[in-house]
Amino acid sequence: MADKNIKVILFDMVGVLLFIKKNFSPITKDEINASNIESLYNHTDDKKLLIDIKDKLNLDEVSLEKALECLPKKFEKFEALWKILSKLKEKYDLAVINNGNALAMKYWQQDFDFSIFNFFINSAQEGIKKPDPKIYLLTCQKLAVSPENCLFMDDTLENVQTADDLGMTTLWWNKDKSREENLKQFLELIKFK
C-alpha cells in the first residue's frame, strides 16, 4: 500500500519509460557506431567515454555526432505510461534518474521531450550512478523532499533495493512481467483513477 505522503515519483528511463523497439537491429554504419558507443559506457565519466570512443572506435567528430543522434532511435515510449504523465503531474512532482552518458542528451530530449519532468538526473552529469545512494539523495535535494516522500521505479532490482533502504516507496519493474502488468501494479500502488 502506498504511503499517502508520496510527493514525487522517480522514474528509471530505459525499462520503465522507454523500451527497445521490437526486432531492432543496428543496420546502418551510424547505428552500428551507436551500438559500439553503448558498449563503452561507464555511466559516470563522459570525458573518459570520449577518449575510449577515439581510441577504440576511431570515430571523427562528424561520425561521432551521427552515432550519438542514433542512440535514442532504437527506443520507443511506453505510450500507456506517457499518456498519464500529465495527470500524474497534477498531484506529484516527476523526475528521471538515468544511468547514461550525457553526450547524446540533446537527441534524447529531441526524440522524447522530457520537459514534463521536474528534473532529469543523469549519472554522467552528476558523476555518480545508481545504485549509489548519493544519486537518489541528490535527486531528493533538488526536489526539496525526503526519501520517504518518493516513489522510485526501476527495472534493475539492485537500484530498487537501494531506494528501499533509503526509505522510499519502491516498485521493481520485473522484466519477467509485461509492461502492462508493471504499469497496473504502479497504478494500484498510487491508487490512480
> Is residue 154, in this structure, part of any structural domain at all?
yes
> Is residue 1, in this structure, part of any structural domain at all?
no
Helix (H, G, I), strand (E, B) or coil at 120: strand
Whole-number Å distance between alpha carbons of 103 and 175: 27
The residues near 176 (Cβ < 8 Å, ≥ 6 apart) are none
What is the extent of the structural domain holding 37? 29-73
DSSP string spanning 58-110?
---HHHHHHHHHHGGGGEEE-HHHHTTHHHHHTTSEEEEEE-S-STTHHHHHH
Mean of per-residue pLDDT scores for the chain: 95
Q: For the residues 28-45, what does the mean pLDDT come to?
A: 92
User: Per-residue pLDDT for 4 more than 80?
Assistant: no
Q: What is the pLDDT of residue 127?
A: 94
> Is residue 147, in this structure, part of any structural domain at all?
yes
Residues 101 and 179 in one domain: yes
User: Per-residue pLDDT for 116 more than 60?
Assistant: yes
> Is residue 3, in this structure, part of any structural domain at all?
no
Of 123, 106, 98, 97, which is closest to residue 68 (Cα–Cα)? 106
Taking the model in full, what pTM does it have?
0.94
> Is residue 93, in this structure, part of any structural domain at all?
yes
User: Per-residue pLDDT for 142 more than 80?
Assistant: yes
- Return the CATH number at 156: 3.40.50.1000
Name the pLDDT band for 1 (thresholds 50, 70, 90). very low
> Is residue 24, in this structure, part of any structural domain at all?
no
Q: What is the pLDDT of residue 119?
A: 96
Q: For the residues 2-24, what does the mean pLDDT come to?
A: 91
Residues 40 and 131 in one domain: no
Residues 114 and 173 in one domain: yes
Whole-number Å distance between alpha carbons of 23 and 2: 36
Residues 102 and 13 in one domain: yes
Q: Give the total number of structural domains in the chain.
A: 2
Percent of the chain scoring above 70 in pLDDT? 98
Q: What is the pLDDT of residue 50?
A: 93
Residues 51 and 107 in one domain: no
